[in-house]
Amino acid sequence: KIKLFEDPIYHLKSIKNKIEIKNMISAHIKDGVALTKFLHWIKQNKNFGFDELYLEKKLERFRKQNKDYIYPSFNTIAGSGPNSAIIHYRSSKNTNRKIKKNDIFLCDSGGQYKFGTTDVTRTVCFKKPSKKIKNIFTRVLKGHIAVAVNDLNKIKKGYLIDKKARAPLSKINLDYGHGTGHGVGFFSNVHEGPQAISKFNAVELKEGMILSNEPGYYEEGKFGIRIENLVYIKKKKNKLKFKNLTMAPIDKDLIEEKLLTPKEKNYLFNYNLEVYSNISKFLNKNEKTWLLESI
């Protein structure tokens, strides 16, 4: 008789030990430095006129400055304007487009380091965005924060956390067509289970698991928005909570502050402060000043 069951090693593998977590934290600090340098460069660039493929290569050049970087953890999604609305977009010679000042640019990328895997998405603008874009971006951010601050002692199943991520968008009848988060492994396994934050995942989240937190919104032919951090589950004083691994600023120019509650503003302030305290020593003076202004 053939029995169908899940390999128990699959569950054991998803729970990282203290050394693995420590190494993942280190990899994310190195990656955060590269991404922050890239974000500073792209936001300050006065010679505007680059295209998607150029930006993809430019980001990797920043990552390659670190001796522990090996190669991308997956094919970079560098989409602008209508291309950013394609969830699994891959820029090619045929689709590559020059970025315009009124575009928003979505960059989903990651690196394989000698001791950890990263996966991060940031959406940026180059001029004052429309009210509609700011409204939607802020709702995506509210969903992202709802996941990050979720009480894992009460709600520890992915499908329940997924509902929280979608709630701010659903208030204006919007949604996104992908899960809110996937499990993350080491090296080749940028996608790893059995845990996930999605509509149908009921695996109990446990200490040591690593997941992505990536709500978004996509308007076909127009624009796409996604904010993604990796998080791990930490136990402190017998209580479980998500801790951010990703260390990179979120574009302040896209946030409609009026839509954020005091708790959300406080979370954002503390996150940006944590980013600054972890990576500022690796930045030059201009990058440091810019990052300080984003707090």
Tens digits of residue pLDDT in 117-172: 999 999 999 999 999 999 999 999 999 999 999 999 999 999 999 999 999 999 99
Q: Is the pLDDT of residue 10 over 90?
A: no
Strand extents, DSSP E, 146-205: 181-182, 196-197
Helix axes 285-293, 262-279, angle to 10 degrees: 170
Is 91 in contact with 59 (CB distance < 8 Å)?
Answer: no
According to the model, what pLDDT value does residue 6 have? 77
Nearest CA to 178 among 188, 165, 187, 168?
Answer: 165
Q: Is the pLDDT of residue 9 over 80?
A: yes
Is 27 in contact with 113 (CB distance < 8 Å)?
Answer: yes
- Taking residues 8-23, what's their average pLDDT? 93
Nearest CA to 281 among 61, 110, 32?
Answer: 32
According to the model, what pLDDT value does residue 120 have? 98
Q: Per-residue confidence at 206, pLDDT binned at 50, 70, 90?
A: very high
Is 61 in contact with 86 (CB distance < 8 Å)?
Answer: no
Give the three-class secondary structure for 2: coil
Question: In this structure, is the dihedral angle defined by the CA atoms of residues 153, 16, 28 and 140, taken in order, positive or negative?
Answer: negative
